[in-house]
C-alpha cells in the first residue's frame, strides 16, 4: 500500500513543475522511488531489543504505581477525598500522571511504528492530556488539604519544583499542540522546533522523577523523623519505591536515546510532507 501511494505521488510530481520552475527529471524520480522503497523496508523491521525494553518499562511503571498504592494503603491509611486522607490523593495522582502516563506518552513514537503518523500524534497528545488532568487532581487535593488544615503552601523545594514542572508541562503541551496538531505551522517551523520539543519533553520527564523523589523524602521525614534512620518498614518500602522511580525514568530515557529505535517515516508520509512544504513555502524539497 505504501509503495503504491508513493509511486502515485511521484507520478503526479512528474506532471507538475517543481518550486524552482523545472520539471522533475527521470533520474530524480528514480532516486525518490528508490529512497521510498528503502524507507518501506526499514520501517518493516522492528529492532530486536526494543520490545523487551518497552515491556520492561511497562513492568516497572505498573510496579511503581502498585508500590505507591501499597505504601499509602499500608502506612498512610489509604485514600479518601473528604477526610484527613485527602493528602494521599496527591502522591498517587502525581505518580500515575506525571511519571507513568507521561513516560508512556514519550514512548508512543517508539511503540507504534507502523500506524499512521496522525493517529500516533493524537495518541501522544491524549496521553499527555490524561496525565495533565490526573496531575491537576493531585494538585487540587494537596492545596485543598493544606487549606483545611491551615498549613502553609509552596515553601519547600519539592513544592517549588512541583509547580515549575507542572507549568512547564502545560506550556510544552500547548506549544506542541500548536505546532504539530493544529494546522497552522509551516513545514520549516515544525522542523526547527521538533528537536526542542523532544529535548524539553525528556527534560520535563526527568524533572518530574526528581520532584517525586524530593516529595517522597519529605513525606518520610515529616512522619518518621529520626526513626527514618532505624530502618523502619515504611522507610524501607519508600526507599524501594524511590529506586523503582529512578529505574523507570532511566529505562524510558534509554529507549528515547537510541537513534536506531526511532519511528521510521513511512513512504507516503514523506510524500505528504513534501507536498505540504511545497504548499506552505513554495519550495520543492528533497528527501531527508
Indicate whether 3 pLDDT > 60: no
Residue 11 pLDDT level (bands cut at 50, 70, 90): low
Indicate whether 284 pLDDT > 50: no
Query: pLDDT tens digit string along 17-65?
Result: 444 444 445 555 555 545 444 444 444 478 999 999 999 999 999 999 9
* Count helices and strands in the chain by DSSP H and E runs: 10, 0
In angstroms, rounded to a whole number, what is the distance separating the alpha carbons of residues 122 and 124? 5
- In the prediction, which pLDDT does 26 show? 52
- In the prediction, which pLDDT does 276 show? 44
Query: pLDDT tens digit string along 64-103?
Result: 999 999 999 999 999 999 888 999 999 999 999 999 999 9
Query: pLDDT tens digit string along 158-194?
Result: 999 999 999 999 999 999 998 888 776 778 888 899 9
Q: For a pLDDT cut of 90, what percent of the chain falls above it?
A: 67
Indicate whether 195 pLDDT > 60: yes
Q: For a pLDDT cut of 70, what percent of the chain falls above it?
A: 76
User: CB–CB of 84/73 below 8 Å?
Assistant: no
* Mean pLDDT confidence for 137-143: 97
- In the prediction, which pLDDT does 268 show? 53
Query: pLDDT tens digit string along 271-280?
Result: 445 444 454 4
Query: pLDDT tens digit string along 199-224?
Result: 999 999 999 999 999 999 999 999 99
Indicate whether 14 pLDDT > 50: no
| Interior/surface letters 88-97, b for 16+ CB within 10 angstroms, e for the rest | bbbbbbbbbb
Residue 114 pLDDT level (bands cut at 50, 70, 90): confident
- In the prediction, which pLDDT does 57 show? 98
Burial of 24 (0-12, 13-18, 19+ CB in 10 A): middle
Indicate whether 125 pLDDT > 70: yes
With residues binned 3-state (H G I as helix, E B as strand, rest as coil), the percentages for the chain, rounded to 5, are 80, 0, 20
Is the pTM higher than 0.75?
yes
- In the prediction, which pLDDT does 12 show? 53
Amino acid at each position: 500500500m505504501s509503495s503504491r501511494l508513493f509511486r502515485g505521488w511521484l507520478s503526479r510530481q512528474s506532471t507538475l513543475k517543481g518550486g524552482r520552475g523545472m520539471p522533475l527529471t527521470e533520474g530524480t524520480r528514480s532516486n525518490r522511488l528508490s529512497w521510498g522503497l528503502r524507507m518501506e523496508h526499514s520501517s518493516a523491521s522492528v529492532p530486536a531489543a526494543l520490545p523487551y525494553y518497552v515491556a520492561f518499562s511497562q513492568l516497572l511503571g505498573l510496579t511503581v504505581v502498585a508500590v505507591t498504592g501499597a505504601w499509602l494503603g499500608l502506612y498512610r491509611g489509604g485514600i479518601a477525598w473528604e477526610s484527613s486522607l485527602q493528602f494521599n490523593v496527591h502522591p498517587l495522582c502525581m505518580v500515575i500522571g506525571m511519571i507513568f502516563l507521561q513516560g508512556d506518552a514519550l514512548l508512543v513514537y517508539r511503540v507504534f511504528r507502523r500506524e499512521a503518523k496522525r493517529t500516533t500524534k493524537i495518541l501522544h497528545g491524549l496521553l499527555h492530556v490524561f496525565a495533565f488532568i490526573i496531575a491537576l487532581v493531585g494538585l487540587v487535593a494537596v492545596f485543598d488539604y493544606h487549606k483545611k488544615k491551615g498549613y502553609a503552601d509552596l515553601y519547600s523545594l519539592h513544592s517549588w519544583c512541583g509547580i515549575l514542572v507542572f507549568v512547564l508541562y502545560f506550556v510544552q503541551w500547548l506549544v506542541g499542540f500548536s505546532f504539530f496538531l493544529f494546522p497552522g505551522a509551516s513545514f520549516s517551523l515544525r522542523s526547527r522546533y521538533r528537536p526542542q520539543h523532544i529535548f524539553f519533553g525528556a527534560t520535563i520527564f526527568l524533572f518530574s522523577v526528581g520532584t517525586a523523589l524530593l516529595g517522597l523524602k519529605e513525606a518520610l521525614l515529616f512522619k518518621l523523623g529520626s526513626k527514618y534512620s532505624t530502618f523502619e518498614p515504611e522507610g524501607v518500602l519508600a526507599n524501594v519505591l524511590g529506586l523503582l522511580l529512578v529505574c523507570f525514568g532511566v529505562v524510558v530515557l534509554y529507549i528515547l536515546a537510541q537513534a536506531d529505535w526511532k519511528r521510521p517515516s513511512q513512504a507516503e508520509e514523506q510524500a505528504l510532507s513534501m507536498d505540504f512544504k511545497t504548499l506552505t513555502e513554495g519550495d520543492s524539497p528533497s528527501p531527508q
